[in-house]
Amino acid sequence: MHLHVSLDACHQVARQRVRDLSDSGERFIDDLELDVRPACKEVGEGEAVDMTALEAARSEIETLLPTDGTRRDIDRTEGRASVVLYRAVSDSGADVIALDDPGFWRYVSLAHLWNFAVWREPAFRPNQASLDEPGPSKGRYEQYVDGRNFFNCVATRMYLRVKCLGGLEHGDLAWAVTKGTDFWRSHILRVKAGEHPAVVRAIVRRQADPATRLDTNPLREFAKQLNRSLVNVVPAMLNEDAANGMVGELWSRQLQ
């Protein structure tokens, strides 16, 4: 059993918070449960998800942020925070039903990751975040908390970053790539490669190494060739050596 927030309720809470941010100028909210709890309902069966770990993760993640509010090294900070979140979700006992429910991630976003999301995404800034009532369009701040797109929502993409790597055992790779925002979103999370943890690890290690890092255009060409190669490959068929060999061969073509 887990907590679920509807899409409409999520948007209402998010919009009110951004209005309040505009009025007060305060960056962070201390009590993130106050306006979320009334919007929650319990769904599913069995033992309830333990939110204690998620609350502890919120505190740990917020300590990763610069105290002066600046946005330095934002993607590597997101990578470090991703490991904290993944561990907390795992410790919470959230089952597959919860993990597949956008409403669960709306709750996580509003009750535990809101302050991080506001720091991470400029769209939340009052002078950039639209307060109009029509449904959110591309670029609006709601997409970062409403769970509709798992690759845009901050909470889900953080969880998926570690999952794509194969779990906490490889968590150090989650922040290994510098200036990696587009790398993770465009070349790992949204594409076929993201289904193959051994492949993801091989890619991340190369992109993290200044000697083998690819610029944007070569990286895009590599991704196209890799995705074509993976069409008929079952993830379990690729062990570490096989994945590394496949990635290495395609990567070397772009380094020439």
DSSP string, the chain: -EEEE-HHHHHHHHHHHHHHHHHH-----S-SSTTTGGGEEEESSSSPP--HHHHHHHHHHHTTS-TT----SHHHHHHHHHHHHHHHHHHHT--HHHHT-HHHHHHHHHHTSHHHHHHH-GGGSTTTS---SSPP-TT-GGGGTS-SSTTTSHHHHHHHHHHHHTSGGGGGGGG-STT-HHHHIIIIITSGGGG-HHHHHHHHHHHHSTTT---HHHHHHHHHHHHHHHTT--GGG--HHHHHHHHHHHHHHHH-
Cα Rg, the chain, nearest whole Å? 19
Confidence band (pLDDT; 50, 70, 90) for 134? very low
Confidence band (pLDDT; 50, 70, 90) for 255? confident
Q: Is the pLDDT of residue 157 over 90?
A: yes
- Residue 33: CA count within 13 A, CB half-sphere: 6
* pLDDT given at position 205: 97
> Max CA-CA distance within the chain?
58
Report pLDDT digits (tens) over 14-73: 999 988 887 676 778 889 988 999 999 988 888 888 889 999 999 999 999 988 777 788
Structure tokens at 70: 């600046």
* pLDDT given at position 231: 80
Q: Is the pLDDT of residue 122 over 90?
A: no
164-191 mean pLDDT: 93
Report pLDDT digits (tens) over 202-254: 999 999 999 999 999 999 999 999 988 888 777 667 889 999 999 999 999 99
Q: Is the pLDDT of residue 139 over 70?
A: no
132-152 mean pLDDT: 74
Task: Give the domain ranges of the chain.
Answer: 1-72+88-149, 179-256
Q: Is the pLDDT of residue 153 over 70?
A: yes
1-15 mean pLDDT: 94
Query: Which residue would you say has higher pLDDT here, 69 or 149?
Result: 149
Q: Is the pLDDT of residue 7 over 60?
A: yes
Q: Is the pLDDT of residue 138 over 70?
A: no
Report pLDDT digits (tens) over 86-108: 999 999 999 999 999 999 999 99
156-169 mean pLDDT: 96
